[in-house]
Amino acid sequence: MNFRESLESGKFLVTAEVGPGKGTDVEHLLKDADIIKDRVDAVNVTDLQSSVMRLGSMAFSHLLTDMGIDPIFQMTGRDRNRLALQSDLLSAWVLGIRNVLALTGDHPTMGDHPHAKPVFDLDSVSLLEMIGKLNSGYDMAGNELKGAPDFLAGAVVNPGADTEAALELQIIKMKKKIAAGAKFFQTQAVYDIDLFEKFIRRVEGLKVPIIGGVILLKSAGMARFMNKNVAGVFVPMPLIKEMTDTKDKVKKSIEIAASIVKRLKDLCQGVHIMALGWEKMIPAVLDQADI
């Protein structure tokens, strides 16, 4: 089953994520992907994550298709104008890439080339609209394509938005993304399940599959770092304490992730596990969560 079929089948989805690194060395990433290959429905490939210059998402997504993994090609509006974005999508299609995740992208100031010219010609919403147009056989300017793609497009939503305005705006924008063609949503990492449940109650009427984000906690320090620096991620104190107190961080990390996955099973249509290099642990997390 490819990702689209899994999505349409209504089964509980599992996606993971790989972030290409700086340079041409892809061996270990391919190894990580191979470990999780049979346990996931798709693997996201990030697009210069955190605005740090890295190997591109399209090339690595293509390598995954060669391995028989269905990639979700992440595409941000940060670095390319509408010409390049459309062209890259056509290129991705001929390389066998079938799923796209449309994102606005972090600002270049967040990364390692902070004075690069930010592009943002299209944002996540207009990117989705454009994908819809390509799918229908036309480019953004209305010119007919010779051979059209048929992408499955998705988007992200941040359920942990920390102010009333931020949350309301997230939901308004989520609706715009659905209208623009988003067929699934992946979320920022969820730790506070009660808060996530509130969010789900607000948006369940939208009838769109939501895949809840799970980041494997590697240490208490990492949790504190995310609380401080990653918008929309909040690791509650008790979890941080569990990480501090444990003798076996890996075991604890798997335990926490598995318990989150278990609870998400009742709330949404899938989990998106961001292991950040700990891909080896994903099978154990899934086993413990009975998936």
Partner 1 sequence: MLIAERKPMEEILEMIEDFERILVLGCKGCVTVCCAGGPREVKTLSTLIRMDRKQKGRKVITLEDSTELQCEPESIKPVLEKMANQYDVVLSMACGAGVQAVAKLFPDQLVLPSLNTNFTGIAEEHGVWTEACLACGDCILGRTAGICPVTRCAKSLLNGPCGGASEGKCEVSKDQPCAWQEIYHALKRLNMLHYLKQKPQVKDWPVHPGRVVREDLREVEAT
Interface mask (CB under 8 A) for partner 1, residues 169-208, using x and -? xx-xx-xx--xx-------x--------------------
Those residues whose C-beta lies under 8 Å from the C-beta of residue 217, and which sit 6 or more positions away, are: 223, 235, 239, 243, 253, 256, 257
User: Out of 2, 90, 120, 291, which residue is the one contacting partner 1 (CB under 8 A)?
Assistant: 120
112 contacts partner 1 (rule: CB under 8 A): no
- Minimum distance, C-beta of residue 80 to partner 1, in the bound complex (Å): 14
C-beta separation of 204 from 177 below 8 A: no
Span from 16-24, 33-41, 113-121, 202-210 in contact with partner 1 (CB under 8 A): 113-121
C-beta separation of 17 from 49 below 8 A: no
Helix (H) or strand (E) holding 174: helix 164-179
66 contacts partner 1 (rule: CB under 8 A): no
Q: Cα–Cα distances in Å, from 30 out to 17, 19, 24, 59, 287?
A: 12, 11, 12, 12, 22
| Residue indicated by tokens 């891909």 | 279
Report CA torsion sign: 222, 225, 231, 235.
positive
- Minimum distance, C-beta of residue 128 to partner 1, in the bound complex (Å): 9
129 contacts partner 1 (rule: CB under 8 A): yes
User: Out of 11, 28, 31, 107, which residue is the one contacting partner 1 (CB under 8 A)?
Assistant: 107
- By CB under 8 A, the residues from 134 to 153 that bind partner 1 are 140
Nearer to partner 1, 128 or 273 (CB): 128
255 contacts partner 1 (rule: CB under 8 A): no
